[in-house]
Amino acid sequence: MNRLSAFCLLLVGLACPVLAQTPSVKVKVRAALYDHDLNLKPVPHLELSFRSLDKDNEKAEPTVLQTTLDGAAELELAPGLYRISTSKPVEFQGKSYLWDLQVQLKPPEHVLELSNDNATATDLSGGRGAQVDSLAVHFRELKSSVVTVWSQDGHGTGFLVDPAGLIVTNQHVVDGFTYLAVQFDDQRKLVAEVLAEDKQKDVAVLRVNLAEVASVVVAPIAQGSGALLEGERVFTIGNPLDQEKVLTTGVVSKVEKDLIISDISISPGNSGGALFNSSGAVVGITAYRTGRSAGAGLSGIIPIAEAADVLAAARTKAATTAPPSPRLLPVPPPIKYPADALRAVGNKPWAKDTYYFKLGDFGVEIVTPITRYELAMERASHAEKERQKRAKKSGAPADEEHQPTDYETKYDSVVSVNVSPMLKQDFWKSMASQGQVVMRFKSDFLKMRLLCGSDEIEPILPGRYPLAINMQGGRVRVDDASYEGAYTFPPTAISPTCKQVSVEVYLSKEPDKPLVKVLDPNTVNQVWSDFDPFRKALEANAKSPPK
């Protein structure tokens, strides 16, 4: 061997210890909380972040893992000092738990136990000693599984039953509608499609694409015949009227194969919601409009077993068809229109003609929070004058004048375009009515479009509602039905930055020939200025967001 070869071998021998791979650390995570009786409860789906605190790796992205259903997880990391933390709290028996600790990892293995002892706990009672029972815990855990189901006719409730985006609701909530959307919260709203439905059972299964929606909660479905007992406390989470995620409780009085009877109150908007048992599992589907008769003060609820076949059919179809678009749909801005700006309007006269015009057989009205409030004030003023007249006539003392309540000033910061069919005289029916003038609607509203230049503005909600008038008094008689439109748009929809803002209205009898109206610049400028207080509030909120 020559001297050069010997020197190279020497270098290789010296390099071997340097190039030898550093042994990794096998990290075993066990996350569990003990209850009041010292029974350990695993913490499933706990997301943990491992960030290296070593100088050579401190700029590296943290490693993230999630525990399994038994609260366990495993991974391999390089030895060193790490900060291990959780970003979302775990709520358990009236307390909220977060972990944030530093751990030195050494090979070959490190067992990390996360429990009450090394977590930061916050009392959910607010420090006042409130009794937080299992119902309160279930409500916080499950309300994210409940969604609002939107159609052009209004809204109902649904609940997520599968991470593939399957949502159970009532069939009548989605029956025949061309527009369907599902809203998880005030920012996340998705296109929905009907995968399967059963009109007789009043059950439907929708699908959404959850690709852009993280941190969803799947409602657990109760299994077995003993999932619900007569006399058991139950609860539902729904969207009654204009409220969101409202908890309602009751007691089950009777459990039958195709009917659950309870004293729980089911209001409009609650249709399609989940009825949960006291363990927090779904046992039924609430139905307001088509709920089976259960007697005065009682609600008839659809057992969840009635949805089994529909859900199975939906899963079969989902496996062979593409999901809808994952794109998030427009929603109202997160802040309401400033109430002080509305109250400043007072009883000032407003230019109605600026916001209203006729288009073919329709009357079209542009509605902003300002005009909504002004109309409410006008009606209140008229009602007050009539009341004062009656009081004066009867000799009763006059009360204080009506003042709008705070509720009357809580308006979404949106602009609406309302389209209503006008009435006309039915000549032949009038001739045969022995002196009465018979009126009927001129046309049926189908849909509308709002355009900024040639670009269509996507509505927050394309509302299309039935309109019926049955009036038999006096010389005029109206007995007819039609449809009217109420499309809701973002506050930026009608803007002076558009070269031209136009409205297109489509009739049912001529779906391909829209009636077109180009808005007057004065109308555009007025609508835009109506939202000046909102834009100022939005700017102020961005500079100093609420705590």
Predicted confidence at residue 523, as pLDDT, reads 95
**Model-wide pTM > 0.95:** no
Give dist(CA 283, CA 168) in Å, integer: 12
Choosing among 2.60.40.10, 2.30.130.10, 2.60.40.1120, 2.70.98.90, the CATH entry for 25-123 is 2.60.40.1120
Report the interhelical angle of 369-394 vs 521-530 (nearest 10°): 80
Give dist(CA 147, CA 139) in Å, integer: 14
Give dist(CA 375, CA 350) in Å, integer: 9
In Å, how far are 52, 141, 155, 274 from 206, measured between CA atoms? Answer: 43, 22, 14, 15
Predicted confidence at residue 296, as pLDDT, reads 53
DSSP run (H or E) holding 114: strand 109-114
The tokens for 51 are 């960030």
User: Residue 117 phi/psi, 5° resolution?
Assistant: -70, -30
Which stretches of 284-419 are DSSP H helices?
Answer: 308-318, 339-343, 352-355, 369-394
Residues pairing with 482 in the sheet: 467
The hierarchical CATH code for the domain 133-329 is 2.40.10.120
Predicted confidence at residue 21, as pLDDT, reads 61
User: CB–CB of 269/241 below 8 Å?
Assistant: yes
Place of tokens 């990391």: 77
Domain ranges of the chain: 25-123, 133-329, 339-392+401-543
Give dist(CA 468, CA 373) in Å, integer: 26
Report which of 159, 170, 151, 156 is spatially closest to residue 216, judged by C-alpha positions: 159
Predicted confidence at residue 140, as pLDDT, reads 83
| Local structure of residue 411 (DSSP, 8 states) | -
Predicted confidence at residue 149, as pLDDT, reads 95
User: Residue 371 phi/psi, 5° resolution?
Assistant: -70, -35
Residue 337: how many CB atoms within 10 A of its CB? Answer: 25
Mean pLDDT by 10 residues, the chain (547 residues): 44 44 88 85 91 81 90 92 88 86 92 92 69 77 92 92 95 93 93 96 96 88 87 86 78 90 84 91 82 60 94 96 95 91 71 91 95 84 79 67 57 95 80 76 93 96 91 76 95 95 94 95 95 92 67
| Local structure of residue 15 (DSSP, 8 states) | H
